[in-house]
Amino acid sequence: MPEIELTIQAAEPLPGAVRQGAYLVILEAMNNVVQHARARHVQVRVNGGPDELVLEVADDGVGLDEPYVSGLGVTSMRSRIQALGGTFDLAPGAVSGTRLTASVPMPT
């Protein structure tokens, strides 16, 4: 099990749909880290402001296979974020591992 660093900064309470979507994306991302990444460390960051919520999950594991083919879990995360009007990116980490970044606009 990797060491997990969790940082949450949220200025406003999150609307229910955004909160649930963020929770499910982080849950699936952590499942992928535990099942596939062989990571020693993972950072989970949640930044919520008045305009958007940004999620980031970064690990130091083995990274993405080349060529990368998205599985059901990643497809589900991407679809969930896009359904909230947001953007989703899964890419190699800066040095090693994998970095998931998602942003969701806050409803007005």
Domain range 3-105, CATH class: alpha beta
Residue 80 phi, psi dihedral angles, 5° rounding: -65, -45
pTM score: 0.92
Q: What DSSP state is assigned to residue 96?
A: S
Q: What is the DSSP letter of 60?
A: -
The full set of domain ranges for the chain reads 3-105
Q: Over the stretch 36-95, which tens digit does the pLDDT of each residue have?
A: 999 999 999 999 988 999 999 999 999 987 767 788 999 999 999 999 999 999 999 888
pLDDT bin (cut points 50, 70, 90) of residue 14 is confident
- Work out whether strand 3-10 and strand 41-48 pair parallel, antiparallel, or are unpaired: parallel
